[in-house]
C-alpha cells in the first residue's frame, strides 16, 4: 500500500480518493459527522464538563491518600531509601530536602563510626606486634584520621549535596511567599517552557481541562513544567531497532505505564522468539512456550507435552528491559515480570561504576539492589544501550515520519495512526537488513 500511494499518478489518486469517499461515506476534507451540528457540540460539552467535575471530585477524595503517600515517602527518605530521583507531585520540597539531609548526616555518622572501629582495630594490631604477639601490620595508605577515607568522603559529598538542595528549596519557598504577599506581581509577556515568566507551574498538579475538539486527548505535563494537548505514546523497541509494541495512553505519568506495557512487550517478544527460534524443542519439533498475562504480571509457560527439565526454548528470549528515570518507583521495582534496569535519575544521578563495589545485604530493598546493579560494569554497560536503542526510533518517528502531530481525532484513530507509522518504520528497517538475515527471518 505504501508503494502505491508513493508512486500513483494523478488519475489513479483521484480514483482512489473517490473509492475511499464511497467506502467511508465522507470526504477527507469534511468535518467528521460526530463533530457537526449544535447538538453534537452540546453533547461533547456536557460530557467534557462531567469529566472535569468527576476528576476534580476524585482529587478531593484522594487528598488523604496523597498526604499519606507523601508521609511514607518522607519516612523512606529519612531511612536513606530515596537519596536520588524526583519527589512526588505536590510534596513539600523543603521537607524532602530536610529528610535527605537527615539521611545523609546519618550516613556520614555511620561511616565515621566504621572508620573509628578500623582505627581501633589497627591500633590493637600494632600493640600486639610491639608486644611480640602478632605479625607486622601493613599500613599502606591507611589513615588514622576519622575524617579521611573513601567512604567518609563519599558520605560527606552526599551531605554537601543535601545541604545545597535544602538551601535552594528554602530560597524558592521564600520567593514564592514574597510573590504571594506582594500586591502586584509583574509577569513579563510571552514566556518560556513553563508558561509566562514569573508564574512557574513546575511541581503543581495540572489544571483539570477537557478539549471539545478532541475529547479523548489530555493535558500532557512535561518534565520541564510545560504542557501540551495530546497523548502519551509508549514504545517497546527491541535491540535491533524494531518496534515490538506501541500504546497510546491518556496519562502523562510514565510510572503508571510500566506494568501495563510489560504484558504487551512479553507477548510481542515471544512472538518474535517463536518466529526466530532455530533451536526448536526436540520433543515437539518447534518452540514449546507460550505467553500468559495476569493481574500480577506476565511470563511464559511450557506446554505439558514438553518433558525436558531444561528446555532450550526458554533460554534468554526477552533479555533485560531498560527504562529511564521516568519509570522509577518502588512499585515498578518490585513488580513481577522480566528482568529490568531502571535509572534512578538523570545521567548525573546514576551511580559511578566501581570495581570494588560492595554487594547489598540479603535484606536490601529493591532500590538498593538496583543501584548496586547499575554500579557494576555489566549493569552500567547494559543500561547504556537504552538511549541508543529507543531514542533513535523516537527521532525517526518524529522527524523522518513527521509524526509530531496526529492527523486524526480520537484515541482509537490516533492509535491506528501510530501503529501504521510503526509498521512502516519496521518495514523500512526490515528491507535494509542483510539479505542473509532477511532470508533466515522469512524462512523461520
Predicted confidence at residue 194, as pLDDT, reads 42
| Domain limits, the chain | 63-182, 220-443
Longest alpha-carbon distance in the chain: 105
- 318 is written with which cell numbers? 526477552
- 15 is written with which cell numbers? 480514483
Q: In which residue are the cell numbers 496519562 written?
A: 251
201 touches 195 (CB < 8 A): yes
414 touches 248 (CB < 8 A): yes
- 436 is written with which cell numbers? 542473509
d(CA 225, CA 232): 16
Q: How far is CA 315 from CA 50, 99, 238, 270, 273, in A?
A: 51, 44, 17, 12, 10
Q: Which of 309, 311, 301 is nearest to 279 (CA)?
A: 311
268 touches 260 (CB < 8 A): no
Q: What is the per-residue pLDDT across 223-259, written as a single tens digit (0 to 9) for each?
A: 666 778 889 999 999 888 889 999 999 888 888 899 9
Which is more confident, 83 or 326? 326
What is the average pLDDT value for the chain, to the nearest integer?
A: 76
Predicted confidence at residue 417, as pLDDT, reads 93
pLDDT mean over 192-215: 58
DSSP lists the bridge partners of residue 237 as 243
- With bands split at pLDDT 50, 70 and 90, how would you rate the model's confidence at 143? confident
Report for 29-43, 84-98, 414-428: range of highest mean pLDDT: 414-428
pLDDT mean over 30-50: 68
Least confident of 105-119, 126-140, 364-378, 387-401: 126-140
Q: Which of 419, 390, 416, 394 is nearest to 404 (CA)?
A: 394
Residue 187 predicted with pLDDT over 50: no
Predicted confidence at residue 71, as pLDDT, reads 83
DSSP lists the bridge partners of residue 300 as 291
Instruction: Tell me 218's DSSP state.
Output: E
Q: Where are the beta strands (DSSP E) in 332-397?
A: 340-342
Q: How far is CA 35 from CA 156, 230, 354, 406, in A?
A: 62, 18, 60, 17
115 touches 146 (CB < 8 A): yes
Listed as own residue / partner, the contacts of 8-11 with beta carbons closer than 8 Å and 24 or more positions apart are none
Predicted confidence at residue 327, as pLDDT, reads 92
114 touches 182 (CB < 8 A): no
Q: 208 burial class (0-12, 13-18, 19+ CB within 10 angstroms)?
A: middle
CB neighbours of residue 395 within 10 Å: 11
Residue 186 predicted with pLDDT over 60: no
Q: What is the per-residue pLDDT across 279-318, written as a single tens digit (0 to 9) for each?
A: 566 556 667 666 665 555 555 666 556 666 566 666 666 7
Q: 261 burial class (0-12, 13-18, 19+ CB within 10 angstroms)?
A: buried
Quote the distance between the C-alpha of residue 232 and its chain's center.
12
Residue 1 predicted with pLDDT over 90: no
DSSP lists the bridge partners of residue 247 as 234
d(CA 288, CA 59): 47
Residues 6+ apart with CB under 8 A from 391: none
Predicted confidence at residue 39, as pLDDT, reads 63
d(CA 302, CA 295): 20
Q: What is the per-residue pLDDT across 152-167, written as a single tens digit (0 to 9) for each?
A: 888 888 899 889 988 9
Residues 6+ apart with CB under 8 A from 390: 235, 237, 322
Least confident of 186-200, 301-315, 378-392, 406-420: 186-200
Least confident of 27-31, 198-202, 410-414: 198-202
Predicted confidence at residue 301, as pLDDT, reads 60
Q: What is the per-residue pLDDT across 204-221, written as a single tens digit (0 to 9) for each?
A: 565 677 777 788 888 887
Predicted confidence at residue 197, as pLDDT, reads 41
- 237 is written with which cell numbers? 523497541
d(CA 220, CA 229): 6
Which is more confident, 115 or 188? 115
- 85 is written with which cell numbers? 530521583
pLDDT mean over 372-390: 90
CB neighbours of residue 385 within 10 Å: 13
Q: 243 burial class (0-12, 13-18, 19+ CB within 10 angstroms)?
A: buried
Listed as own residue / partner, the contacts of 338-347 with beta carbons closer than 8 Å and 24 or more positions apart are 338/262, 338/265, 338/266, 338/298, 338/299, 341/370, 341/373, 341/374, 341/379, 341/382, 341/383, 341/386, 342/370, 343/374, 343/383, 343/386, 344/84, 344/85, 344/370, 344/371, 344/374, 345/84, 345/85, 345/86
pLDDT mean over 200-207: 55
Rg of the Cα trace of the chain? 29
Which is more confident, 98 or 272? 98
pLDDT mean over 309-331: 79
Residue 442 predicted with pLDDT over 70: no
Residue 2 predicted with pLDDT over 50: no
d(CA 442, CA 162): 56
Predicted confidence at residue 347, as pLDDT, reads 76
Residue 7 predicted with pLDDT over 70: no
Amino acid at each position: 500500500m505504501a508503494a502505491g500511494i508513493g508512486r500513483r499518478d494523478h488519475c489513479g489518486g483521484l480514483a482512489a480518493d473517490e473509492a475511499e469517499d464511497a467506502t467511508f461515506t465522507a470526504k477527507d476534507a469534511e468535518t467528521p459527522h460526530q463533530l457537526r451540528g449544535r447538538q453534537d457540540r452540546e453533547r461533547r460539552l456536557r460530557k467534557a464538563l462531567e469529566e472535569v467535575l468527576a476528576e476534580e471530585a476524585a482529587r478531593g477524595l484522594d487528598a488523604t491518600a496523597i498526604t499519606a503517600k507523601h508521609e511514607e515517602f518522607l519516612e523512606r527518605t529519612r531511612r536513606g531509601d530515596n537519596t536520588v530521583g524526583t519527589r512526588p507531585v505536590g510534596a513539600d520540597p523543603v521537607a524532602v530536602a530536610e529528610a535527605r539531609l537527615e539521611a545523609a548526616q546519618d550516613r556520614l555518622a555511620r561511616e565515621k563510626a566504621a572508620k573509628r572501629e578500623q582505627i581501633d582495630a589497627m591500633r590493637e594490631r600494632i600493640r600486639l606486634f610491639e608486644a611480640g604477639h602478632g605479625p607486622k601490620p601493613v599500613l599502606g595508605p591507611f589513615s588514622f584520621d576519622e575524617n579521611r577515607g573513601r567512604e567518609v568522603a563519599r558520605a560527606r559529598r552526599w551531605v554537601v549535596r543535601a545541604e545545597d538542595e535544602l538551601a535552594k528549596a528554602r530560597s524558592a519557598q521564600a520567593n514564592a511567599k514574597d510573590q504571594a504577599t506582594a500586591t502586584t506581581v509583574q509577569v513579563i509577556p510571552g514566556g518560556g517552557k513553563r508558561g509566562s515568566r514569573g508564574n512557574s507551574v513546575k511541581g503543581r498538579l495540572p489544571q483539570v481541562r477537557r478539549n471539545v475538539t478532541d475529547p479523548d486527548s489530555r493535558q500532557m505535563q512535561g518534565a520541564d513544567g510545560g504542557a501540551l494537548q495530546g497523548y502519551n505514546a509508549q514504545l517497546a523497541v527491541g535491540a535491533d531497532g524494531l518496534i515490538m509494541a506501541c500504546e497510546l495512553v491518556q496519562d502523562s505519568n510514565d510510572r503508571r505505564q510500566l506494568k501495563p506495557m510489560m504484558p504487551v512487550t512479553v507477548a510481542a517478544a515471544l512472538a518474535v522468539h517463536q518466529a526466530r527460534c532455530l533451536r526448536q524443542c526436540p520433543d515437539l519439533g518447534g518452540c514449546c512456550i507460550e505467553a500468559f498475562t495476569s493481574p500480577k504480571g506476565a511470563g511464559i509457560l511450557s506446554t505439558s507435552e514438553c518433558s525436558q527439565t531444561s528446555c532450550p526454548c526458554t533460554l534468554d528470549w526477552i533479555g533485560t528491559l531498560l527504562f529511564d528515570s521516568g519509570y522509577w518507583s518502588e512499585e515498578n521495582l518490585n513488580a513481577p515480570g522480566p528482568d529490568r534496569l531502571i535509572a534512578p535519575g538523570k545521567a548525573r544521578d546514576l551511580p559511578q561504576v566501581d570495581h570494588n563495589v560492595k554487594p547489598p545485604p540479603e535484606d536490601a530493598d529493591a532500590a538498593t539492589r538496583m543501584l548496586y546493579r547499575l554500579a557494576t560494569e555489566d549493569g552500567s554497560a547494559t543500561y547504556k544501550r537504552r538511549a541508543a536503542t529507543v531514542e533513535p526510533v523516537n527521532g525517526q518517528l518524529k522527524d523522518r515520519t513527521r509524526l509530531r502531530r496526529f492527523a486524526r481525532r480520537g484515541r482509537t484513530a490516533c492509535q491506528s495512526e501510530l501503529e501504521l507509522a510503526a509498521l512502516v518504520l519496521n518495514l523500512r528497517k526490515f528491507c535494509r537488513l542483510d539479505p542473509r538475515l532477511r532470508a533466515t527471518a522469512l524462512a523461520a
